[in-house]
Amino acid sequence: MIEYRDARPEDGPALAKMAADSFVETFGHLYRREDLESFLRDAFSPAGLPAQIGHPDYRIRVAVDDGAIAGFCKMGPCGLPSPPVPEGAAELKQLYVLSPWKGQGVAQALMEWGIGLAREANAPHLVLSVYSDNHRARRFYARYGMVEIGAHPFMVGEQADDDRIYCVAL
């Protein structure tokens, strides 16, 4: 049975490994090795994602199945360009689920947590960015009423990806 809970400091190494594995599983084929390694080092080293656990600016929820982190959702301060992002929007920074747990409701539970957290904070909108060719994720977010409102570059090493900004009024 999958347990959903806030990430704890001791989850840091396992969460970083799960996030890196998920990123490589989904996007690894798109990048030069050095760009991918640079991104993974910056995003998931101890100074990256693990350091955000318990930080007052971030909330991280994990889905744990038999001791393994199957997925996570991270909410944090909005860093997307405004405009097009509406003032006061909350940002869903990351929502990752490993392949064995896709299609089992993990992403939905984490997304609903993120929406609830944004509503509790009285954010008028929830925004996120998603890679333009990640069609599965784009369909998933559309089911929550999210619509594309713009684009911005997402850097992986020296490669700029075409990310789309999605938004929903809360």
18-24 mean pLDDT: 98
- The pLDDT tens digits of the residues spanning 104-162 come to 999 999 999 999 999 999 999 999 999 999 999 999 999 999 999 999 999 999 999 99
Distance CA 37, CA 24 (A): 10
pLDDT confidence tier of residue 82, bands split at 50, 70 and 90: confident
Determine contact, residues 96/128, Cβ cutoff 8 Å. no
Smallest CA-to-CA distance from 20 within 37, 34, 5, 7 is with 37
Q: Is the pLDDT of residue 95 over 90?
A: yes
The CATH number of the domain covering residues in 3-169: 3.40.630.30
CA 133, 137, 138 angle in degrees (round to 5)? 70
Amino acid at 148: E
Amino acid at 90: A
pLDDT number for residue 162: 96
Q: What percent of the chain has pLDDT over 70?
A: 100
pLDDT confidence tier of residue 19, bands split at 50, 70 and 90: very high
Tokens coding 170: 């809360």
Tokens coding 15: 């969460």
pLDDT confidence tier of residue 31, bands split at 50, 70 and 90: very high
